[in-house]
Amino acid sequence: MDEGKRLTKVITCSPKHEYFNIDNPAAHNIIEVSNPVKAMKQHSELRIALESFGSEVIDADEYVGHPNSVFTRDTALVTPGGYVKLNLGIETRKDEEKWMAGILDSLNEPCAGEITEPGTVEGGDVILCGSVAFVGHTQRTNSEGIEQLSRILNKMDYDIRIAKLPDIYLHLDQVIGVLGPGYLIYCQELFTTRFFESFDTIKSSCKEFNVNFICLGKEEIIAPVTNTEVVRLSQEHGVKIHSIDFSEFVKGSGGPNCLIMPVERI
């Protein structure tokens, strides 16, 4: 799974009920309960954009009692050797891993391994690009989880590059984005160029915006309409942008990349 290649199959999860059925938003790391009409419209626009690009969209039902199940990205990691069943780092999302594993099993995706307690890894903290696996050490992905994941990915000959992130960042995909094969944009405040050795890169300031977006394929992305810095820099470098309003998912501490589980890229 090279995240710079053409995205041909994804799993999404439309918000219909659970994303709005929240008694304690803070326990779910949700800033504000979203407007149902707006959230459903924004998610529909995302699915239409993916399908218009040519991606097969498998839209799963929400996992009952789990408002964050709309953020499918975190629940598993699909690799060329099969999927890795992850272990989420927030208590209110536990069991979403089993839910996603069931969906992937139904698609005949083989399982390549599993992250178990006390290890935690969330999908937003792992970026596979060519032969490199960038892994974020965050509040949600701990040292034990990274060790377990590294053992699984080492068997697939991945070069593991680990980044320890400040707590203000939830996941690695907020600070590193893939624009195409071997082509990255990253937050210049957090990394040196040596970390991205062998890659072509664009530096972005993340003082106001992060770089969370969806790579559709070579130099084509879906980005939040509000992220003017990423849109500007990407366009200046010839990247095609599909801009969508994701404001109702920002309220859930998520972005566009959080809303898809990439299953196939070719």
Question: CA-to-CA distance for 169 and 175, rounded, in angstroms?
Answer: 8
Q: What is the pLDDT of residue 87?
A: 98
- Strands (E) located in the chain: 7-13, 56-60, 76-79, 82-85, 111-114, 126-129, 132-137, 159-164, 176-180, 183-187, 200-204, 214-217, 220-224, 240-244, 261-265
pLDDT digits (tens, 9 = 90+) for 157-207: 999 999 999 999 999 999 999 999 999 999 999 999 899 999 999 999 887
Going along the chain from its start, the domains and CATH numbers come out as: 7-265 (3.75.10.10)
Strand (E) or helix (H) holding 137: strand 132-137
pLDDT tens track of the chain, all 266 residues?
A: 899 999 999 999 999 999 999 999 999 999 999 999 999 999 999 999 999 999 999 999 999 999 999 999 999 999 999 999 999 999 999 999 999 999 999 999 999 999 999 999 999 999 999 999 999 999 999 999 999 999 999 999 999 999 999 999 999 999 999 999 999 999 999 999 899 999 999 999 887 778 999 999 999 999 999 998 888 999 999 999 999 999 999 999 999 999 999 999 99
